[in-house]
Amino acid sequence: MTNSTPEQIIEAVVAAHAGDRVVSPEVQKRFVHSAIGGTSRLRYDSPAPSARERQIIELIARGLSNVEIADELHYAEGTVKADIRHINRLWNVENRLQIVLRAAEIGLIEL
């Protein structure tokens, strides 16, 4: 964030506190490609998410915030947050980036 304005830094802190993304979708995509070697391993030893959770995972991977996901799917933001918490428990991950990494790793999404 060395090139960020004070307003952008404040927005990032507020977003992180709310559980939203803190990096741009492009930065997230580059990081995921680097972390998984740019290829999907098509492993599926992780529990399968529900259809709704898959939609949310895809939208997270596209870089949408919780509010944007709620708007896209016509859900309450609280429902989206609850689904993300369930995905975190299901896959034993702690944040949105780890959700995207796991989904790409098991072949659920392609980056």
CATH code of the domain containing 81? 1.10.10.10
Q: What percent of the chain has pLDDT over 70?
A: 73
Q: Is residue 50 part of a domain?
A: yes
Q: Is residue 48 part of a domain?
A: yes
Range of the domain at 33: 23-105
Q: Is residue 9 part of a domain?
A: no
Encode pLDDT of 62-87 as tens digits.
999 999 999 999 999 999 999 999 99
Q: What is the pLDDT of residue 86?
A: 96
CA angle 54, 22, 43 (to 5 degrees): 35
Q: Is residue 42 part of a domain?
A: yes
> Which residue has tokens 């997270």?
60
Q: State whether the Cα torsion 66-23-25-87 is positive or negative.
A: negative
The token pair that represents 17 in the structure block: 């506190």
Q: Is residue 75 part of a domain?
A: yes
Radius of gyration of the chain, Cα coordinates, nearest whole angstrom: 14
Q: Is residue 7 part of a domain?
A: no
Give the total number of structural domains in the chain. 1
pTM of the complete model: 0.63
